[in-house]
Amino acid sequence: MSATAARSDLSFLREIGIDGVQDGAYAGEWIRCSGEELVVRSPATGEEIGRVRQAGAAEYERAVAAAHAAFLRWRQLPAPQRGELVRRVGNEIRRFKDPLGRLVSLEMGKILQEGLGEVQEAIDIADFATGLSRQLYGLTMPSERPQHAMREQWHPLGVVGVISAFNFPAAVWAWNACLAAVCGDVVLWKPSWKTPLTAIAMSKVAARVLEPEGFGAIFSLVIGPDATVGEALTADPRIPLVSATGSTRMGRIVGPKVAARFGRCILELGGNNAVVVMEDADLEMAARAILFGSVGTAGQRCTSTRRVLVHKPVAAKLTERLLALYAKVRIGHPLDAKTLMGPLVDEDAVRATEAALARVRALGGEVLCGGERVRPAGCEGGWYMTPAIARARNEWDVVQQETFGPILYLIEVADLDDAIAQHNSVPQGLSSAIFSRDVRAAERFLSAVGSDCGIANVNIGTSGAEIGGAFGGEKETGGGRESGSDAWKAYMRRQTNTVNYGDTLPLAQGISFDVD
């Protein structure tokens, strides 16, 4: 398919209910919105692909009230029955996987295979959550008092606010929504204003299952400005948990506001992810993992590879191989099957990447390749640039910060201890990896004195987490966890129960309190 053909064919949008101007609020029914009209442009071409009427304060209030009312009924449904409805939502997403994946690619800019992969992630987490609905386990504990039983159980929280970023416009919502739903919660979703059509499409697909069952409002949606919808959501005491994905700057705003009202947060914030490459590494494997980690999604993943900490003896050889691979990266329209790297999301992202490279040069670094704007045929209105590799020093301010674009910093290290020290000396702590054939080096990297990240890998890259494991990071990444393992506990409240089935009232710790 040519870039021009991909650009002009928007007919698939109608398959998922995107046709004409869309309202940006849903809570069991679509709410007519009174806010400013948002023009949605594809980063691939700059062309308009849709319009959304944004929600204001009144529409937000209507949506959150409907969501809370739905929660009062939803929490009474047995968890396996909730899981069955989530399973059916997953199957409906599976049925529309192709058009949903194409929309993700067209609206966000990631290549089609990544767009389809993101929708598959939503399907996978629905399957995971279905099984989880029968495994919301508590504990039993021995009581020190005779004829007493102690146990622990988990109950739903309420309305969960989900704030998602542009780079994963479908999967992040699904991670939260599917787990929250089987836990007995409902979700109020505020997506990025850069990718509202994907949010509307995902909501419409889920509604096909949930509305006939009378539970459309368990997955509610509000698309609107931060100053109205965002502020209201973070300050609303009816929303006991806010799961927010975005920049560290955003987390510094959301976290304190939610904490001030004693709400909870799951924060998935910035990453500054490094791959350590030791002298004994399989360099070809490492180079290919680094390529995908740094170039995939045009470097706009929170798990994108930003830094390579390479052992000096193999630095020249690895650099040579990376330059050869980068030269072969095909840049173009994301729906073109031959494309390996699509556009950045907008002009601001391109400028931020250019500014970071200018800072590298000003500090004395060397840009070895990339960083130029390009205009693929048929995509002249899009935001494209070549992926960059630069020699840098880990302590430079530009390296310490996260630049959401395709820049890879090469940093030489003396040994494993030096690599770990430099790896950990950044404010963020999301994803990390080491390439080595030495089991001792690998285990040291995974130990308490190794990587300080929430994700640490051996002989695979930093990008591409599976839903079975908990996802999240430490330090300025926020400390939250989503997706697999026991991340479900964040969406519930813990309750300890003690039952006295005897005829006396003994007190704990042997305390006597006898008034006779």
Q: Which residues of 40-69 are buried (b: 16+ CB within 10 A; e: fewer)?
A: bbbbbbbeebbebbbbbeebbebbbebbbe
Q: How many residues does the chain have?
A: 516
CA angle, 292 as apex, 286 and 96 as ends, to 5°?
140
Angstrom distances, CA of residue 147 to CA of 113, 144, 495, 496, 514: 60, 9, 20, 17, 20
Beta bridge partners of 408: 389
Options 59, 268, 354, 402, the catalytic residue: 268
84 is catalytic: no
Of the residues 265, 302, 379, 453, only one is catalytic, namely 302
DSSP three-state, residue 411: strand
What residue type is 191 in one-letter code? Answer: P
How buried is 443 (Cβ within 10 angstroms: 0-12 exposed, 13-18 middle, 19+ buried)? Answer: exposed
Does residue 44 sit in helix, strand or coil? coil
Tokens representing residue 144 in the block: 């020190």
Q: Which helix (H) or strand (E) holds 374?
A: strand 373-374
Radius of gyration of the chain (CA): 25
DSSP state of 477: T
Joined together, the tokens standing for residue 200 give 């509307």
Matching residue, tokens 């992040």: 172
Angle at 178 between CA 174 and CA 183, to 5 degrees: 150
Burial class (CB in 10 A: 0-12, 13-18, 19+), 85: buried
Amino acid at 248: T
Edge-first strand listing for the sheet containing 48-53: 21-23, 48-53, 37-41
How many whole angstroms separate alpha carbon 449 and alpha carbon 459? 19
Return phi, psi of residue 197, to 5°.
Answer: -65, -40
Nearest to 218, CA basis, from 82, 121, 123: 82
Asked if 268 is an active-site residue, the reply is: yes
- List alpha helices for 378-511, DSSP H: 397-400, 416-424, 439-446
Phi-psi category of 17—alpha, beta or left, where left has phi over 0 and alpha has psi -120 to 50? left
- Residue 51: C-alpha distances to residues 17, 40, 202, 380 (Å): 13, 6, 16, 22
**How many other CB atoms are there within 10 angstroms of residue 340's CB atom?**
17
3-state secondary structure of 183: coil
Residues marked active site are found at 268, 302
